[in-house]
Copies of this chain bind each other. A is one copy, B any other.
Amino acid sequence: MEEQRRISSAVINRLPRYHRHLGELIEMGVERISSGELSKRMHVTASQIRQDLNNFGGFGQQGYGYNVQYLYQEIGKILGLEKKYNMAIIGAGNLGRAIANYTNFEKSGFGVVGIFDINPELKGKTIRGVPVRHMDELDEFLKHEKIDIAAITVPKENALEVADRLLKLGVKAFWNFAHIDLNVPKDVIVENVHLSESLMRISYKLSSGEKK
């Protein structure tokens, strides 16, 4: 039986950026690239690139480097991008609507299948063809549709309650935009996007005089 080594989250966090840069290189028509060249482009050490990639296998060739197209695909596979994910957006406020309107996620396989809001007045509106439903319809909706990822874009006051409800309905991954820590079992994924914390990192650097 294969022992699967845990990949450090530092590595995982860097993979999407590799993926993006490789995508840009493909658009530029670049066929091959060495860790050294990629290193210059991305401002990370070549050693780190090679070490990161080797967590998943040897994708390069000595004396040649990496085939851009192949490496892009392989990293895509590692990131699970060859699969399709159903995403629901909980909270059709400005942020929820912004996410629902963002077509690039769809292209990467993250399809918006449902949009929900507590405000009855929003019912009947649609965003890119997806109707905004009332929160009351959530249970019924989930009998027919699977939700792989729930984006939580409700105010923090409602976030815990909403997440609990989704948890009970079997949702296993949350994209949390509310400024609060969700409480979930160990087998459930939470990816936080805390914009106010992001802003505070800027104000820290601005006020401390620290530069990148």
Contact = CB atoms under 8 A, between A and B. Distances in A.
Contacts of A188: 211-212
Nearest to A108: B196
A130 interface: no
A105 interface: yes
A85 to B, nearest CB: 6
A30 interface: no
A78 interface: yes
B80 A149 contact: no
Interface stretch (A131-139, A161-169, A197-205): A197-205
A12 interface: yes
A97 interface: yes
A194 interface: yes
A139 B91 CA distance: 37
Interface stretch (A32-40, A60-68, A115-123, A171-179): A171-179
B105 A94 contact: no
Given A173-B205, A203-B83, A195 B197 contact: no
A187 interface: yes
Contacts of A110: 199, 203
Given A94-B102, A196-B108, A80 B15 contact: no
A5 to B, nearest CB: 12
B200 A81 contact: yes
A52 interface: no
A13 B80 contact: no
A20 B6 CA distance: 31
